[in-house]
Amino acid sequence: MTKHSGKTIDKVDGIKIINCESCGFVHVSPIPSDEELRKFYEKEFYQYERPNYFKETQEDLSWWMATYANYYRIFEGLTKGRTLLDIGSGPGHFLACGKKRGWKTVGIEPSSVAAEYSRKRGFATETGFFRYEDAKKLGTFDVVHAALVLEHVPDPIGFISDMKKMLKKDGILAIFCPNDYNPLQNILRTQQKMKPWWVVPKHHLNYFNPESMQKLLVKQGFQIEKTLGTFPIETYILTGKNYVGNHVVGRACHQERKKFELMLYKNHYDILNTLYAGLAQAGIGREFLIIARK
Ligand SMILES: [Zn+2]
């Protein structure tokens, strides 16, 4: 068993956040047991079970689809195969985008409400948490994608190694994660004395940045193909629009961001991708997408 130790960088809700030297990334300490996590997720109020979830998502759908199409376009430049496994597939929007582009997709989703919705839309979806022993019957894939998953799992190193087993030879792994303790958050913290609002230890066990995730993947034998940041939404707080804990301000900022990105997705996605690759290199962007080859 790995011994987790490193400098404590925060303590939130009585839970320590350490910069773990053996793992090479920031995570909670102690790491909850599988049993504790199972109990937590059984009681967990899944976002998909909120009454307004599907309605609110509808408002952002064209933006989500344009964003996903941009990511699929990158995959298509890196592999000739067109099979994709989406781990944490939610209501199936990523699967839908793939299907539209001629991909054969399968989803795995722990929320039964979301998985059922996805199946009703006609997308192959397994209900449950991703475990290699359960998933291996699905075969291997050209691309394995996991968005907003790795920050939740107790053993990201084991999780990545299991995802690798689901890939064909030379297959592509795509990981999308929040970029935490990023330079803009750190500026807001030191200059405006803001609390570390991105630290939510009950939900997020791990706090990655592009560099720590790249290192983790290289250690497991992957070759990094591309790293993109997402829109540096914290710039709004720096201009005085503090959306933290304010849903109305948050939605307004999000609308502007969507407008900007949709404009570029239309004819100039290459410019946007160059810009976002540069951001990732500087460690900036609210999330990041890393695409790596087995
Ligand atoms: Zn550790």
DSSP state letters, the chain: -PPP-EEEEEEETTEEEEEETTTTEEEEESPPPHHHHHHHHHH---GGGSTTHHHHHHHHHHHHHHHHHHHHHHHHHH-S--EEEEET-TTSHHHHHHHHTT-EEEEEES-HHHHHHHHHTT--EEES---HHHHGGG--EEEEEEES-TTT-S-HHHHHHHHHHTEEEEEEEEEEEE--S-HHHHHHHHHS----TT--TTT--EE--HHHHHHHHHHTT-EEEEEEE---TTHHHHTT---TT-HHHHHHHHHHHHHHHHHHHHH-HHHHHHHHHHHHHTT-SSEEEEEEE-
pLDDT exceeds cutoff 90 at 54: no
Mean pLDDT of the chain: 94
CA of 181 to the centre of ligand 1 (A): 17
CATH number at residue 256: 3.40.50.150
Q: What is the mean pLDDT of residues 116-134?
A: 95
Binned at pLDDT 50, 70 and 90, residue 37 comes out as: confident
Distance 29 CA to ligand 1 centre (A): 8
Residue 115 belongs to some domain of the structure: yes
pLDDT at 203 over 70: yes
How many A from CA of 85 to the centre of ligand 1? Answer: 27
Asked, for residue 140, whether it belongs to a domain, the answer is yes
In a domain, 1, yes or no: no
- With respect to residue 181, please indicate whether it lies within any of the assigned structural domains: yes
In total, how many domains does the chain have? 1
pLDDT surpassing 70 at residue 2: no
**pLDDT of res. 36:** 87
**Region 229-243: what's the mean pLDDT?**
97
- Calculate how far, in angstroms, residue 173's C-alpha sits from the geometric centre of ligand 1: 22
Please state, for a pLDDT cut of 90, what percent of the chain lies above it. 88
Q: How confident is the model at residue 242 (pLDDT cuts 50, 70, 90)?
A: very high
Q: What is the pTM of this model?
A: 0.95
Q: Is residue 252 situated within a structural domain? A: yes
| Domain membership flag for residue 137 | yes
What mean pLDDT do residues 187-203 have? 95
Residue 288 in domain? yes
pLDDT band of 191, cuts 50, 70, 90: very high
Residue 136 belongs to what domain range? Answer: 6-293
Q: How far is the CA of 157 from the centre of ligand 1 (A)?
A: 10
Q: Would you state the pLDDT for residue 39?
A: 79
Q: For residue 185, is it within any domain?
A: yes
Q: What is the pLDDT of residue 1?
A: 57
